[in-house]
Amino acid sequence: MCPRLKAVSNSNTELGDSWEYEPAPEGTRPEISDSYGLFIDGEFVEPSSGKMMKTVSPSTEEVLSEVGVADAEDVDRAVSAARTASAKWRRIAPRERAKYLFRIARRIQEKARELAVLESMDGGKPIKESRDIDVPEAAKHFFYHGGWADKLDYAFPGRQAKPVGVAAQIIPWNFPLLMAAWKIAPALACGNTVILKPAETTPLTALALAEILQEVDLPPGVVNILTGAGKTGASLASHPGLNKLAFTGSTEVGKKLAENLAGTDVRLTLELGGKSPNIIFEDASIDQAIEGIVAGIWFNQGHVCCAGSRLFVQEGVVDEVLEKLDLRMQSLRIGDPLDKNTDVGAINSRAQLRRIRGYLTQGKKEGAELHRVRGPKLPDKGFWMRPCYLTGVQPAHVVAREEIFGPVLSVMTFRTPEEALRRANNTPYGLAAGVWSDKGSRIFDVASKLKAGVVWCNTYNRFDASSPFGGFKESGFGREGGRQGLRAYLNLV
Ligand code: NAP
Ligand code: MG
């Protein structure tokens, strides 16, 4: 037996036997100030109202720090700082702009461990994900876009690429630092200035990024970061001084923003929710597909807009898939995000936990059967949920139609590729999809008919800065990443 594994007796478990690893706690502890102001014009300043809000660790409910709540007056200050900075920043030689992006990327790498720990503390995601995905990908976005800064005319041959101007960027809580990098890097590379609004529950890594921007001497006002709640977002989105708004978050808020900006000349991109299908054909490598299902839905507690939350399994292999899926699910370790063995961390907030539980109750009421991870009792403090899947789900059920944004998989079956396609596309969303088959021709055929911005074939939830990402239908419009993503931050003349 592996010496680091020990059997856990029934007395310590809520739902039966399980295996537990010895703890492997992360040693690094980032410095967290008691209080952070708003980052405007290159400096941390008090919010004009003096109002602060607490940010807590969702795994312990411990207060980590307090941050400023920006109101309309602060938004005005930030937009005017960005406007003033824009006049200079757009004229800096592109190769000089690139150097700032490379410096930011390198500084993120130097501080990678601290940033990863901070992300896991503030947001609840397991350290192995923030360490291996969020932070390295954030650095990559700055490296990648730094590379484009002096080649924009080649990205769009025959056209002259001009910055759009001042961009407001509103981001959610599921990938706080990565989303900030994802938004800021292309905007800066294209010569724009930015006002970023992080989500209420996860402000700390955006503020750590603000410190990095100071360290690399980014000119004041080029990036401004306003913390606060939804009201801050709403007042930023409606400020008349913007040229561009980029939003990632719920479809509900996205629709409101689209309505408000209709008829104005503010450029808008929306990256919204999803209910992405993951389709397993009989001839797929089932063991490989199981890993893809796990990565698709239980990664980051299911807090992923492109989560493969609807699983479609061809009838002939459904028993095998469910048996293997259950076995794999039981091996997931849930708990302290700062333990390097943890696979599934804490749900981001109490409100989100309540929302997910509401969906489970609804699913059971509609006749679905719940299968969840057994294993040790979950901590008393914090917001926890066992990863689970639902069988007996019908396409009309709420759990098959609405985005749950939690570790909940709805399993359905199909007989023919046509049926799989019809059911997969039967959704108002169109962000991502997965196809699993041994047959290349089937993969190409099905992938080309899926109405989704990203289709993963024999894999799931893979990202790269050079690969455009975005949705169809109610999942939004516009692309982020890659050459296509630059388009949103440029006027081509
Ligand atoms: P949300 O309200 O759309 O939040 C996204 C961002 O928009 C946050 O920074 C939020 O600020 C801000 N915001 C809220 N109201 C706004 C408004 N009226 N105008 C401008 N900005 C506004 O999403 P949520 O409440 O955090 O999550 C709700 C559901 O949305 C989730 O259950 C999930 O289904 C979906 N969601 C999708 C994504 C995605 O990546 N597509 C990400 C997160 C959530 P505050 O956080 O400070 O309120
Ligand atoms: Mg928090």
pLDDT at 14 over 80: no
- Decide: 484 and 467 in contact? Cβ < 8 Å: no
pLDDT at 290 over 80: yes
For the chain, give the percent of residues with pLDDT over 70.
Answer: 96
| Catalytic annotation, pick one of 26, 200, 271, 480 | 271
User: Nearest 5°: CA angle at 175, between 174 and 179?
Assistant: 125
Q: How far apart are CA 118 and CA 68, in angstroms?
A: 18
Distance 249 CA to ligand 1 centre (A): 4
pLDDT at 12 over 60: no
One-letter amino acid identity for 104?
I
- Decide: 293 and 399 in contact? Cβ < 8 Å: no
Q: How far apart are CA 26 and CA 341, in angstroms?
A: 10
Higher pLDDT, 20 or 80: 80
Decide: 405 in ligand 1 pocket, CB within 6 A.
yes
Decide: 347 in ligand 1 pocket, CB within 6 A.
no
DSSP string, 67-109: EE---HHHHHHHHHHHHHHHHHHTTS-HHHHHHHHHHHHHHHH
pLDDT of residue 163: 98
Coil, strand or helix: which one is 270?
A: strand
pLDDT classification of 149: cutoffs 50, 70, 90: very high
pLDDT at 7 over 50: no
pLDDT of residue 5: 44
Decide: 253 in ligand 1 pocket, CB within 6 A.
yes
Least Cα distance to 105 among 212, 207, 187, 180 occurs for: 212
Decide: 359 in ligand 1 pocket, CB within 6 A.
no
Q: Which residues contact 93 (CB under 8 A, 6 or more apart)?
A: 150
Least Cα distance to 405 among 291, 293, 272, 246 occurs for: 272
Mean confidence (pLDDT) of the chain: 95
Bridge pairing between strands 454-457 and 432-436: parallel
pLDDT at 13 over 70: no
pLDDT classification of 20: cutoffs 50, 70, 90: low
One-letter amino acid identity for 379?
P
pLDDT of residue 19: 52
By the CB criterion, residues less than 5 angstroms from ion ligand 2 are: 55, 122, 201
pTM, two decimal places: 0.95
Q: How far apart are CA 350 and CA 190, in angstroms?
A: 38
- Decide: 274 and 471 in contact? Cβ < 8 Å: yes
Least Cα distance to 197 among 167, 219, 221 occurs for: 167
Query: Which domains does the chain carry?
Result: 35-272+472-492 (3.40.605.10), 277-457 (3.40.309.10)
Quick: pLDDT tens for 159-218. 999 999 999 999 999 999 999 999 999 999 999 999 999 999 999 999 999 999 999 999
pLDDT of residue 16: 47
Quick: pLDDT tens for 365-409. 999 999 999 878 899 999 999 999 999 999 999 999 999 999 999
Annotated catalytic residue 388: no
Decide: 199 in ligand 1 pocket, CB within 6 A.
yes
Least Cα distance to 136 among 464, 433, 425 occurs for: 464
User: Nearest 5°: CA angle at 96, between 90 and 100?
Assistant: 95
Phi–psi pair at 443, nearest 5 degrees: -60, -50
- Decide: 181 and 258 in contact? Cβ < 8 Å: no
Identify the residue whose tokens are 């992080």: 198
One-letter amino acid identity for 13?
T
Quick: pLDDT tens for 428-480. 999 999 999 999 999 999 999 999 999 999 999 999 999 999 999 999 999 99
Q: What is the mean pLDDT of residues 2-12?
A: 44
Question: Which ligand gives the minimal distance to the CA of 227?
Answer: 1
Identify the residue whose tokens are 């509900």: 252
The minimum-distance atom of ligand 1 relative to the CA of 201 is 46
pLDDT classification of 93: cutoffs 50, 70, 90: very high
The burial class, CB within 10 Å (0-12 / 13-18 / 19+), for 324 is: middle
CA neighbours closer than 13 Å in the CB half-sphere of residue 12:
9
pLDDT at 2 over 90: no
Distance 355 CA to ligand 1 centre (A): 13
3-state helix, strand, coil in the chain (%, to 5): 40, 20, 40
Q: How far apart are CA 345 and CA 300, in angstroms?
A: 7
